[in-house]
């Protein structure tokens, strides 16, 4: 049975989020439609969390049942990788709080959140056989 590749799956979320941003339209330095920006930010943030869940598993972090808080992700990353923690913190504020909840529409701000989410997902690539499919054993 084939498993989906965690890197590719997380990037699929980012690709879907970018498509949503295209639907938002642009005017000067802002996206026009808040609804699409919120959807895109939520999707990108979810993809980043999927990547972190896989990353934690590959580093031997015990699985946790139920809903995980941002504090859980911050705590685990503070032990594993401070650089990824910086990316997580910015992506959390930009994508989750500013973009998804507050509806911030400034292109530069939203792009910085996407960049941080992609940086976290990129950390998966070497752990996921560089994007190739893996077979379940």
Which domains, and CATH codes, for the chain? Answer: 2-126 (1.20.120.330)
Tokens 């752990």 correspond to 127
pLDDT band at 129 (very low <50, low <70, confident <90, very high): low
Angle at 119 between CA 115 and CA 124, to 5 degrees: 145
Q: pLDDT tens across 71-110, in order?
A: 999 999 999 999 999 999 999 999 999 999 999 999 999 9
Q: 3-state DSSP call for residue 29? A: coil
Structural tokens at position 104: 């911030």
Q: How far apart are CA 55 and CA 122, in angstroms?
A: 11
pLDDT in tens, 3-61: 478 999 999 999 999 999 999 999 999 999 999 999 999 999 999 999 999 999 999 99
Residue 136: pLDDT over 50: no
Q: Tokens 């893996």 appear where?
A: 134
Residue 107's CB is within 10 A of a number of other CB atoms, namely 16
């Amino acid at each position: 049975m084939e498993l989906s590749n965690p890197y590719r799956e997380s990037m699929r979320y980012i690709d879907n989020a970018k498509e949503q941003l295209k639907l938002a339209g642009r005017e000067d330095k802002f996206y026009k439609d808040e609804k699409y920006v919120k959807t895109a930010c939520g999707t990108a943030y979810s993809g980043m969390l999927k990547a972190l869940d896989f990353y934690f598993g590959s580093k031997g972090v015990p699985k946790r049942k139920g809903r995980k808080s941002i504090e859980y992700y911050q705590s685990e990353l503070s032990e594993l990788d401070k650089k990824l923690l910086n990316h997580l913190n910015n992506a959390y504020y930009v994508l989750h709080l500013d973009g998804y909840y507050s509806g911030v529409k400034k292109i530069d701000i939203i792009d910085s959140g996407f960049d941080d989410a992609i940086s976290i997902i990129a950390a998966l690539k070497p752990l996921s056989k560089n994007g190739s499919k893996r077979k379940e054993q």
